[in-house]
A = this chain, B = another copy of it.
Protein backbone atom coordinates (compact mmCIF):
# COMPACT_ATOMS: atom_id res chain seq x y z
CA UNK A 1 0.00 0.00 0.00
CA UNK A 2 1.61 3.20 -1.19
CA UNK A 3 0.81 6.85 -0.86
CA UNK A 4 0.60 7.12 -4.63
CA UNK A 5 -1.71 4.13 -4.83
CA UNK A 6 -3.99 5.73 -2.30
CA UNK A 7 -3.77 8.95 -4.26
CA UNK A 8 -4.77 7.19 -7.45
CA UNK A 9 -7.72 5.62 -5.68
CA UNK A 10 -8.86 8.96 -4.33
CA UNK A 11 -8.69 10.52 -7.78
CA UNK A 12 -10.63 7.70 -9.38
CA UNK A 13 -13.27 7.78 -6.67
CA UNK A 14 -13.63 11.53 -6.83
CA UNK A 15 -13.59 11.90 -10.58
CA UNK A 16 -15.61 8.77 -11.25
CA UNK A 17 -13.36 7.41 -13.96
CA UNK A 18 -9.90 6.00 -14.44
CA UNK A 19 -9.44 8.04 -17.56
CA UNK A 20 -10.19 11.32 -15.83
CA UNK A 21 -7.94 10.39 -12.94
CA UNK A 22 -5.11 9.54 -15.32
CA UNK A 23 -5.51 12.85 -17.11
CA UNK A 24 -5.60 14.73 -13.82
CA UNK A 25 -2.51 12.93 -12.57
CA UNK A 26 -0.70 13.36 -15.85
CA UNK A 27 0.00 9.68 -16.44
CA UNK A 28 -1.28 6.99 -18.73
CA UNK A 29 -4.51 5.21 -18.10
CA UNK A 30 -3.02 1.80 -17.34
CA UNK A 31 -0.73 3.39 -14.77
CA UNK A 32 -3.75 4.39 -12.74
CA UNK A 33 -5.51 1.14 -13.41
CA UNK A 34 -2.55 -0.81 -12.11
CA UNK A 35 -2.12 1.24 -8.99
CA UNK A 36 -5.73 0.52 -8.36
CA UNK A 37 -5.28 -3.18 -9.07
CA UNK A 38 -2.43 -3.42 -6.60
CA UNK A 39 -4.39 -1.63 -3.93
CA UNK A 40 -7.31 -3.94 -4.56
CA UNK A 41 -5.07 -6.98 -4.28
CA UNK A 42 -3.48 -5.68 -1.13
CA UNK A 43 -6.75 -4.88 0.59
CA UNK A 44 -8.82 -7.69 -0.85
CA UNK A 45 -11.69 -5.47 -1.97
CA UNK A 46 -12.68 -4.18 -5.42
CA UNK A 47 -12.99 -0.65 -3.93
CA UNK A 48 -14.48 0.72 -7.15
CA UNK A 49 -16.44 -1.16 -9.79
CA UNK A 50 -17.50 0.08 -13.15
CA UNK A 51 -21.19 0.46 -13.55
CA UNK A 52 -22.02 1.65 -17.01
CA UNK A 53 -20.48 5.03 -17.57
CA UNK A 54 -19.07 5.71 -14.13
CA UNK A 55 -17.07 4.01 -11.42
CA UNK A 56 -19.00 3.20 -8.30
CA UNK A 57 -17.57 2.72 -4.84
CA UNK A 58 -18.08 -0.51 -2.99
CA UNK A 59 -18.97 -0.37 0.69
CA UNK A 60 -15.33 -0.96 1.59
CA UNK A 61 -14.30 1.68 -0.93
CA UNK A 62 -16.57 4.22 0.71
CA UNK A 63 -15.04 3.51 4.07
CA UNK A 64 -11.56 3.73 2.63
CA UNK A 65 -12.09 6.93 0.71
CA UNK A 66 -12.33 9.21 3.73
CA UNK A 67 -9.23 7.69 5.28
CA UNK A 68 -7.28 7.66 2.03
CA UNK A 69 -8.15 11.28 1.37
CA UNK A 70 -6.84 12.24 4.77
CA UNK A 71 -3.64 10.27 4.26
CA UNK A 72 -2.99 11.92 0.93
CA UNK A 73 -3.66 15.36 2.36
CA UNK A 74 -1.39 14.67 5.30
CA UNK A 75 1.32 13.44 2.97
CA UNK A 76 1.34 16.79 1.25
CA UNK A 77 1.22 18.53 4.60
CA UNK A 78 4.18 16.52 5.83
CA UNK A 79 6.34 17.80 3.02
CA UNK A 80 5.26 21.35 3.71
CA UNK A 81 5.70 20.99 7.44
CA UNK A 82 9.45 20.55 7.39
CA UNK A 83 10.01 23.61 5.25
CA UNK A 84 11.23 26.32 7.59
CA UNK A 85 9.59 29.68 8.08
CA UNK A 86 6.04 28.54 8.49
CA UNK A 87 4.32 29.43 11.76
CA UNK A 88 4.48 26.74 14.39
CA UNK A 89 1.35 24.77 15.08
CA UNK A 90 -0.04 24.40 18.54
CA UNK A 91 -2.84 22.02 19.42
CA UNK A 92 -4.37 22.58 22.83
CA UNK A 93 -6.83 20.09 24.25
CA UNK A 94 -8.80 20.79 27.35
CA UNK A 95 -11.48 19.72 29.67
CA UNK A 96 -15.00 20.51 28.45
CA UNK A 97 -15.55 23.01 31.25
CA UNK A 98 -12.37 24.91 30.57
CA UNK A 99 -13.02 24.86 26.87
CA UNK A 100 -16.34 26.59 27.31
CA UNK A 101 -14.98 29.49 29.31
CA UNK A 102 -11.31 30.04 28.84
CA UNK A 103 -10.35 28.46 25.51
CA UNK A 104 -11.39 31.38 23.34
CA UNK A 105 -9.96 34.28 25.33
CA UNK A 106 -6.80 32.40 26.27
CA UNK A 107 -5.87 31.28 22.78
CA UNK A 108 -6.97 34.64 21.42
CA UNK A 109 -4.51 36.41 23.70
CA UNK A 110 -1.75 33.92 22.99
CA UNK A 111 -2.03 34.14 19.22
CA UNK A 112 -2.01 37.92 19.48
CA UNK A 113 1.36 37.71 21.18
CA UNK A 114 3.04 34.90 19.30
CA UNK A 115 2.88 34.04 15.64
CA UNK A 116 1.49 30.55 16.08
CA UNK A 117 -1.32 28.73 14.36
CA UNK A 118 -3.34 27.51 17.31
CA UNK A 119 -6.24 25.09 17.40
CA UNK A 120 -8.22 23.82 20.35
CA UNK A 121 -10.13 20.68 21.06
CA UNK A 122 -11.98 18.94 23.83
CA UNK A 123 -10.85 15.62 25.22
CA UNK A 124 -11.50 13.37 28.17
CA UNK A 125 -8.72 13.19 30.70
CA UNK A 126 -8.20 9.54 29.90
CA UNK A 127 -7.37 10.36 26.29
CA UNK A 128 -4.79 12.99 27.14
CA UNK A 129 -1.66 10.83 27.54
CA UNK A 130 -2.31 9.22 24.19
CA UNK A 131 -3.03 12.53 22.49
CA UNK A 132 0.18 14.03 23.83
CA UNK A 133 2.50 11.11 23.21
CA UNK A 134 1.11 10.61 19.73
CA UNK A 135 1.63 14.31 19.08
CA UNK A 136 -1.99 14.85 18.22
CA UNK A 137 -1.92 17.53 20.89
CA UNK A 138 0.87 19.69 22.28
CA UNK A 139 -0.65 20.90 25.51
CA UNK A 140 -3.53 19.64 27.63
CA UNK A 141 -5.36 21.78 30.15
CA UNK A 142 -7.56 20.35 32.85
CA UNK A 143 -7.21 17.78 35.57
CA UNK A 144 -3.94 16.34 36.74
CA UNK A 145 -2.52 13.74 34.42
CA UNK A 146 0.28 11.35 35.12
CA UNK A 147 2.05 9.27 32.57
CA UNK A 148 5.40 8.16 31.33
CA UNK A 149 7.18 10.99 29.58
CA UNK A 150 4.59 13.56 30.58
CA UNK A 151 5.15 16.72 32.56
CA UNK A 152 2.14 18.04 34.45
CA UNK A 153 2.22 21.28 36.35
CA UNK A 154 -0.46 23.31 38.12
CA UNK A 155 -1.28 26.60 36.44
CA UNK A 156 -4.18 27.98 38.45
CA UNK A 157 -5.39 27.40 41.95
CA UNK A 158 -9.16 27.34 42.18
CA UNK A 159 -11.98 26.33 44.45
CA UNK A 160 -14.80 24.00 43.56
CA UNK A 161 -18.07 24.85 45.24
CA UNK A 162 -21.70 23.89 44.89
CA UNK A 163 -24.23 26.51 43.90
CA UNK A 164 -27.99 26.67 43.72
CA UNK A 165 -30.92 28.93 44.25
CA UNK A 166 -32.22 29.89 47.73
CA UNK A 167 -35.43 27.97 47.49
CA UNK A 168 -34.40 25.57 44.77
CA UNK A 169 -34.58 21.84 45.07
CA UNK A 170 -31.59 20.02 46.44
CA UNK A 171 -32.14 16.55 45.08
CA UNK A 172 -31.00 17.13 41.52
CA UNK A 173 -27.45 17.68 40.41
CA UNK A 174 -27.04 19.80 37.30
CA UNK A 175 -23.75 19.36 35.57
CA UNK A 176 -22.04 20.31 32.34
CA UNK A 177 -20.46 17.96 29.84
CA UNK A 178 -17.26 17.70 31.84
CA UNK A 179 -19.15 15.43 34.23
CA UNK A 180 -18.94 12.78 31.53
CA UNK A 181 -15.20 12.69 32.17
CA UNK A 182 -14.68 10.53 35.26
CA UNK A 183 -11.34 12.20 35.98
CA UNK A 184 -12.71 15.75 36.02
CA UNK A 185 -13.02 17.68 39.24
CA UNK A 186 -16.78 17.74 38.81
CA UNK A 187 -16.94 13.96 38.72
CA UNK A 188 -14.60 13.72 41.65
CA UNK A 189 -16.85 15.99 43.66
CA UNK A 190 -19.94 14.00 42.76
CA UNK A 191 -18.21 10.84 43.92
CA UNK A 192 -17.06 12.47 47.16
CA UNK A 193 -20.64 13.45 47.86
CA UNK A 194 -21.90 10.02 46.86
CA UNK A 195 -24.31 11.47 44.37
CA UNK A 196 -26.29 8.77 42.62
CA UNK A 197 -26.60 8.53 38.85
CA UNK A 198 -30.33 9.10 38.84
CA UNK A 199 -29.89 12.42 40.63
CA UNK A 200 -27.64 13.79 37.91
CA UNK A 201 -28.80 15.70 34.90
CA UNK A 202 -26.21 16.55 32.30
CA UNK A 203 -26.55 19.73 30.23
CA UNK A 204 -25.04 20.48 26.89
CA UNK A 205 -22.89 23.18 28.42
CA UNK A 206 -21.90 24.52 31.78
CA UNK A 207 -23.77 27.79 31.32
CA UNK A 208 -27.04 25.93 30.89
CA UNK A 209 -26.42 23.89 34.02
CA UNK A 210 -25.80 26.99 36.12
CA UNK A 211 -28.79 28.72 34.62
CA UNK A 212 -30.99 25.79 35.58
CA UNK A 213 -29.49 25.87 39.06
CA UNK A 214 -30.33 29.57 39.34
CA UNK A 215 -33.91 28.69 38.42
CA UNK A 216 -34.07 26.24 41.27
CA UNK A 217 -33.99 23.06 39.25
CA UNK A 218 -31.25 21.66 41.44
CA UNK A 219 -27.74 22.31 42.61
CA UNK A 220 -24.62 22.47 40.50
CA UNK A 221 -20.91 22.06 41.08
CA UNK A 222 -19.03 25.16 40.00
CA UNK A 223 -15.57 26.61 39.81
CA UNK A 224 -15.88 29.50 42.24
CA UNK A 225 -14.31 32.23 40.18
CA UNK A 226 -16.40 31.41 37.12
CA UNK A 227 -19.68 31.99 38.97
CA UNK A 228 -18.43 34.97 40.97
CA UNK A 229 -20.67 37.36 39.04
CA UNK A 230 -23.80 35.26 39.61
CA UNK A 231 -22.98 34.91 43.29
CA UNK A 232 -22.48 38.65 43.61
CA UNK A 233 -25.79 39.37 41.93
CA UNK A 234 -27.49 36.83 44.16
CA UNK A 235 -28.73 34.72 41.27
CA UNK A 236 -26.82 31.82 42.70
CA UNK A 237 -25.92 31.10 46.27
CA UNK A 238 -23.26 28.84 47.67
CA UNK A 239 -24.60 25.56 49.00
CA UNK A 240 -22.57 24.10 51.83
CA UNK A 241 -21.64 20.48 51.52
CA UNK A 242 -19.26 18.25 53.46
CA UNK A 243 -16.84 18.23 50.54
CA UNK A 244 -16.83 21.88 49.51
CA UNK A 245 -15.14 24.21 49.10
CA UNK A 246 -12.77 21.82 47.43
CA UNK A 247 -9.36 23.30 46.72
CA UNK A 248 -8.01 22.09 43.42
CA UNK A 249 -5.85 23.16 40.53
CA UNK A 250 -6.03 23.44 36.82
CA UNK A 251 -3.08 21.68 35.36
CA UNK A 252 -1.18 21.97 32.12
CA UNK A 253 0.31 18.79 30.75
CA UNK A 254 2.90 18.45 28.01
CA UNK A 255 5.55 16.01 27.00
CA UNK A 256 8.76 16.08 28.98
CA UNK A 257 11.09 18.93 27.99
CA UNK A 258 13.41 16.98 25.68
CA UNK A 259 10.55 15.87 23.48
CA UNK A 260 8.40 18.94 23.95
CA UNK A 261 7.78 21.15 20.95
CA UNK A 262 8.98 24.71 21.21
CA UNK A 263 5.45 25.99 20.67
CA UNK A 264 4.29 23.95 23.66
CA UNK A 265 7.13 25.33 25.75
CA UNK A 266 6.24 28.86 24.76
CA UNK A 267 2.59 28.30 25.61
CA UNK A 268 3.50 26.79 28.96
CA UNK A 269 5.56 29.84 29.75
CA UNK A 270 2.73 32.08 28.61
CA UNK A 271 0.39 30.36 31.06
CA UNK A 272 2.49 31.60 33.97
CA UNK A 273 2.28 35.24 32.90
CA UNK A 274 -0.04 37.56 34.81
CA UNK A 275 -2.09 38.24 31.71
CA UNK A 276 -2.85 34.56 31.21
CA UNK A 277 -3.69 34.03 34.86
CA UNK A 278 -5.93 37.06 34.75
CA UNK A 279 -7.83 35.79 31.74
CA UNK A 280 -8.29 32.35 33.26
CA UNK A 281 -9.72 33.93 36.38
CA UNK A 282 -12.05 36.32 34.62
CA UNK A 283 -12.43 35.11 31.05
CA UNK A 284 -15.48 37.29 30.48
CA UNK A 285 -13.52 40.47 30.80
CA UNK A 286 -11.15 39.31 28.16
CA UNK A 287 -13.92 39.12 25.61
CA UNK A 288 -14.02 42.46 23.90
CA UNK A 289 -17.33 44.18 23.87
CA UNK A 290 -17.07 44.27 20.12
CA UNK A 291 -17.25 41.20 18.02
CA UNK A 292 -15.08 38.41 19.33
CA UNK A 293 -13.75 36.36 16.51
CA UNK A 294 -10.61 34.56 17.55
CA UNK A 295 -8.04 33.50 15.00
CA UNK A 296 -8.46 30.06 16.47
CA UNK A 297 -10.24 27.45 14.50
CA UNK A 298 -11.42 24.21 15.95
CA UNK A 299 -11.16 21.60 13.33
CA UNK A 300 -12.31 18.08 13.61
CA UNK A 301 -11.37 14.47 13.77
CA UNK A 302 -8.02 12.96 14.21
List the interface of chain A (C-beta within 8 A of B): 1-3, 6, 13-14, 16, 43-45, 47, 54, 56-57, 59-71, 73-75, 77-79, 81-84, 86, 88-89, 91, 93, 100-101, 103-104, 119, 121-123, 133-137, 179-180, 197-198, 200-205, 207-208, 211, 258-259, 261-262, 287, 289-293, 298-302
Query: In the complex the two chains form, is A200's CB within 8 Å of B123's CB?
Result: no
C-alpha gap A83/B137 in the complex (Å)? 29
CB distance from A158 to the nearest CB of B (A): 18
Measured CB to CB, the nearest residue on chain B to A61 is B82
CB distance from A38 to the nearest CB of B (A): 14
Query: In the complex the two chains form, is A262's CB within 8 Å of B65's CB?
Result: no
C-alpha gap A122/B119 in the complex (Å)? 13
Query: In the complex the two chains form, is B77's CB within 8 Å of A74's CB?
Result: no
Query: In the complex the two chains form, is B201's CB within 8 Å of A207's CB?
Result: no
CB distance from A295 to the nearest CB of B (A): 11
Q: List 6 A-B contacts (CB under 8 A).
A: A1-B3, A2-B2, A13-B259, A70-B136, A100-B205, A179-B291
Measured CB to CB, the nearest residue on chain B to A68 is B78
Q: How many copies does the complex hold?
A: 2
A59's partner among B2, B84, B202, B298 (CB-CB below 8 A) is B84
Measured CB to CB, the nearest residue on chain B to A60 is B82
CB distance from A59 to the nearest CB of B (A): 7
Query: In the complex the two chains form, is B135's CB within 8 Å of A65's CB?
Result: yes
- With A81-B63, A93-B300, A262-B62 known as contacts, the answer to whether A69 contacts B136 (CB < 8 A) is yes
